[in-house]
């Protein structure tokens, strides 16, 4: 460890690879077919799954498979500066990339002409909302009994000056020093080498990608433990 690294302090006071406290609870929306809450520190995501159910209008149906439809919503009161309610480009992009992140583990070929709706609500936001949403959605799909090969675990990495840090909060995401703000959200299939999402907002040297993957793998192991515990709690009830 260099002298520089030792002296670097995250705004949150956490160690460079220290994650925020995580919490997960399954079965939080009784009327949904499956539901879950997942938190990274002050970021709270709720996911509710409805379906599989017949897709309308009929011309959108696919006779060869079921369809996954995600709707991510950062609620107006979830951030300190009130967000205008309703969809925007950001929420549409996050909804789509959440679908891409989750689809590889879903086995929905046996549900032709149907849709599985996943509603993700961010009720409190302090960065990492898309990754918390993916973790909650993965749990909610499992809770709904949708056939899945495995769970999906998701976390964001970033940089504090030149050092890689894990699970950034909003102050860290906005950090302007050094090489500028960098946000690197990832999602992967639990207990595997397969990543289903890698996004990059900012700059990173290509030779550091291996380092990022290693850190993401370690973080995802911790996320998976929290997810498994939450699922076990509901099974044992």
Rounded least distance, CB 147 to ligand UDP, Å: 28
What residue is closest to ligand UDP based on CB? Answer: 129
Q: Which is nearer to ligand UDP, 115 or 122 (CB)?
A: 122
In the block, which residue shows the tokens 């509710």? 48
Q: Which helix (DSSP H) or strand (DSSP E) does residue 138 occupy?
A: helix 129-143
Distance between CA atoms of residues 95 and 120, nearest Å: 9
Which residues contact ligand UDP by CB under 6 A?
74, 79, 81, 83, 90, 125-130, 156, 170, 173, 183
Rounded least distance, CB 237 to ligand UDP, Å: 31
Burial of 222 by CB count in 10 Å (0-12 exposed, 13-18 middle, 19+ buried)?
Answer: middle
Q: Which is nearer to ligand UDP, 129 or 227 (CB)?
A: 129
Q: Which is nearer to ligand UDP, 198 or 234 (CB)?
A: 198
Q: Which is nearer to ligand UDP, 108 or 157 (CB)?
A: 157
The widest CA-to-CA distance across the chain, in whole angstroms, is 63
Rounded least distance, CB 6 to ligand UDP, Å: 28
Q: Which is nearer to ligand UDP, 34 or 128 (CB)?
A: 128
Distance between CA atoms of residues 154 and 163, nearest Å: 20
Rounded least distance, CB 170 to ligand UDP, Å: 5
Q: Which helix (DSSP H) or strand (DSSP E) does residue 4 occupy?
A: helix 3-7
Rounded least distance, CB 131 to ligand UDP, Å: 6
The CA–CA distances, whole Å, from 54 to 60, 64, 87, 105 equal: 10, 13, 24, 21
């Amino acid at each position: 460890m260099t002298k520089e690294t030792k002296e670097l302090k995250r705004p949150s006071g956490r160690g460079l690879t220290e994650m925020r406290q995580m919490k997960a609870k399954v079965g939080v929306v009784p009327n949904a077919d499956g539901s879950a809450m997942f938190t990274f520190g002050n970021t709270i995501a709720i996911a509710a799954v409805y379906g599989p159910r017949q897709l309308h209008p009929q011309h959108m149906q696919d006779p060869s498979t079921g369809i996954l439809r995600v709707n991510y919503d950062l609620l107006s009161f979830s951030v300190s500066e009130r967000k205008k309610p309703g969809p925007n480009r950001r929420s549409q992009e996050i909804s789509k990339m959440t679908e891409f992140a989750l689809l590889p583990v879903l086995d929905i070929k046996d549900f032709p002409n149907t849709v599985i709706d996943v509603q993700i609500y961010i009720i409190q936001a302090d960065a990492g909302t898309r990754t918390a949403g993916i973790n909650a959605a993965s749990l909610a799909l499992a809770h709904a009994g949708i056939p899945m090969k495995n769970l999906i675990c998701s976390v964001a990495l970033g940089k504090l000056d030149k050092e890689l840090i894990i699970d950034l909060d909003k102050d860290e995401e906005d950090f302007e020093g050094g090489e500028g703000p960098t946000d690197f959200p990832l999602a992967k299939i639990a207990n595997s080498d397969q990543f289903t999402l890698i996004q990059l907002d900012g700059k990173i040297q290509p030779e550091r990608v291996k380092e990022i993957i290693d850190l993401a793998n370690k973080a995802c192991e911790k996320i998976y433990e929290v997810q498994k515990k939450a699922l076990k709690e509901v099974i044992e009830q």
